[in-house]
Amino acid sequence: MLRAYDIIKKKRDGEVLSKEEIIFFVSGFVEGTIPDYQMSAFCMAIYFQGMNEEEILNLSLAMRDSGEVIDLSEIKGVKVDKHSTGGVGDTTTLICAPLAAACGVPVAKMTGRGLGHTGGTVDKLESIPGFSTELSKKEFIAQVNKIGISIMAQSQELVPADKKLYALRDVTATIDSLPLIASSIMSKKLASGADAIVLDVKFGNGSFTKELHQAEKLAEIMVKIGSQSGKKIAAFLTSMEQPLGNYIGNALEVKEAIKILRGEEKESDLRKVAVELAACMVFLGRKAETIEEAKKVALHALDSGKGLEKLAELIKAQKGNPKVIEDLSLLPAANLVETVHASATGYIQSIPAQTIGYISLLLGAGRSKKEDSIDLSVGVILKKRVGEKVEKGEPLAELYAHDHSKLNLCRKQLEEAFCIAAEPLPSIPLIQSAIGV
């Protein structure tokens, strides 16, 4: 007879757990027969002792099977999903998903809301007037078959083990455990029903995995879980030392995504990463023979305006106002705007992504707790990037707010976030490496 106490002790002592023991613990926690304090002890044992690849796979599958597993077999073609491990100014989904769909790849994406300093795709989409992310499974599948793309909020029935477990990890200092991060992400991806998955694994200041070697290990673990579960899967390792995009905040990020799909902002880091992710989606979706050909196909969809047209289709299909594509003033706008200027002449050496994310959070663009309400219009626009030269008095960034007290609180923090020095530092590659492509 299995007992929670024995399983906790076994993992505490560094032993390997069987599939049956892991299923017993996860199902017991979801059903309420294993209390929070025992799951907390279990998570802490995993945090310190780790898990081998087989254990992480079994934990991911047990969490996947704790709720509904979506069947997307009614959708024709190779369904491709994309997931980011979280970042600041990371609006790649709003660019790469329409681009991939415009290339003929069925994109059936379930996504979440933002928490802490990282943004969420659902919140960004809901800043588009009228846009609804609450779809039934029938509507979701029908829309992908009709226009090739749908993005909906994750249902409550999807991986309930992760929802319960994440809330507990958040208050027990066990968030940054690779086995727990990997199983959290992959349980949701496996339950979402896609045939292929593209992962954007962040490293650096604004990510959960600060060091490159941690991100590489996480990516390798998740790729193996996907492969062992019969999915085509690839992962990119991308830098989050500074915000990926120049616009941070929900409506502001939608604005930047639309500008990029319009053909503007051609040199932006956000555009570069989004195109690489779209190309991988095209390749895994079998719409190109090689990754090089897939990139050409994705760039053509961008340059021809097909990606922008697909975003407009998505907005219209989900009850949003497609006129935002032409008129960005239809998006929510803050009534207070303040420019922060450079205090010295020199080169931008750093713009810590996490700091910018927290400034956006303080302005009201994010949540400290899942139930918090957010202001869709506020945030930050960066006017300079790391490595660029700046003159004293030149604009560094703009703050967008509704509240003078919040504006005053964030102004000094934003000024201090920019590190200016006499000489530029060597640049860090934006995309460090890729696994599976």
Which residues carry out catalysis?
A: 83, 162, 169, 184, 188
Amino acid making up residue 198: V
Question: Which of 201, 192, 194, 191 has its CA nearest to residue 223?
Answer: 201
Pairing of strands 346-350, 419-421: antiparallel
**How many angstroms from the chain centroid is the CA of residue 81?**
12
Distance CA 8, CA 40 (A): 10
Question: Which of 235, 209, 232 has its CA nearest to residue 221?
Answer: 235
DSSP H helical ranges for 304-424: 306-317, 353-363, 404-417
Question: Which of 164, 226, 147 has its CA nearest to residue 192?
Answer: 226
380 backbone dihedrals φ, ψ, rounded to 5°: -135, 140
Tokens of 224: 């193996």
Cα angle vertex 16, ends 12, 20, to 5°? 105
Distance CA 274, CA 263 (A): 13
Distance CA 115, CA 120 (A): 7
- 160-171 vs 53-64: helix crossing angle, rounded to 10: 120
Question: Which of 198, 193, 201, 239 has its CA nearest to residue 217?
Answer: 201
Amino acid making up residue 223: V
Distance CA 363, CA 409 (A): 9
Question: Which of 346, 362, 360 has its CA nearest to residue 421?
Answer: 346
Q: What would the DSSP string read from start to end of 300-343?
A: HHHHTTHHHHHHHHHHHHTT--GGGGT-GGGS---SEEEEEE-S
Question: Which of 426, 324, 408, 328 has its CA nearest to residue 363?
Answer: 408
> What is the arrangement of strands in the sheet containing 80-84, beginning at the earlier edge strand?
80-84, 196-203, 232-239, 431-435
Q: What is the residue whose two structure tokens read 């209390």?
A: 35
Long-range contacts formed by 209-213: CB under 8 A, 24+ apart: 209/85, 209/176, 209/178, 209/181, 212/237, 212/432
The answer to whether the beta carbons of residues 294 and 282 sit under 8 Å apart is yes
The answer to whether the beta carbons of residues 384 and 257 sit under 8 Å apart is no
